[in-house]
Amino acid sequence: MRAVAQRVSRAEIRIEGRSIACMEQGLLAFVGVQRGDGPEDAARIADKLVGLRVFGDARGNMNQSLLELDASLCVVSQFTLLGDCRKGRRPSYGQAAEAGLAEPLVDAVVEAARERGACVITGRFGARMQVELTNEGPVTLLVDSRQIF
């Protein structure tokens, strides 16, 4: 499982022009599920996202997690994170999990983050979404449950 996490000062998700989720300060995480992923990958990603110390403390150092600031986590499913661009010009998505496996695992990330105390908003699995965000910093991190990077 892979995630691209961005520290944001605000984020909003729209479907067909209607806002379905909005948040202020927190992390926006695009999450992709890989073939072979399971519940342990979802738990590992949730732990990492909730615990990342990427928010400033009183001295401005990145020493606080979203839990310490009562900030939000936005989880958006994005299979294209598993796109392989090494050959040709068209990405291959052969390593992305099928929707029947991916959707419950993305849901498991959300539930695990909530169990750890995070306020979580989400996109809608499989929907064509417009995601608007203000990346704060900018801070953007890559997270992989298999610790590839």
Query: pLDDT tens digits, residue range 41-96?
Result: 999 999 999 999 999 999 999 999 999 999 999 999 999 999 999 999 999 999 99
Name the band, by pLDDT with cuts 50, 70 and 90, for residue 149: confident
User: 3-state DSSP call for residue 112?
Assistant: helix
pLDDT tens digit sequence for 95-129: 999 999 999 999 999 999 999 999 999 999 999 99
What domains lie within the chain, and their CATH numbers?
A: 2-144 (3.50.80.10)
Is residue 79 within 8 Å of 33, Cβ to Cβ?
yes
Active site residues: 78-80
Answer yes or no: are the C-beta atoms of 29 and 49 closer than 8 Å: yes
3-class state of residue 2 by DSSP:
strand
% helix, strand, coil for the chain, step of 5: 25, 40, 35
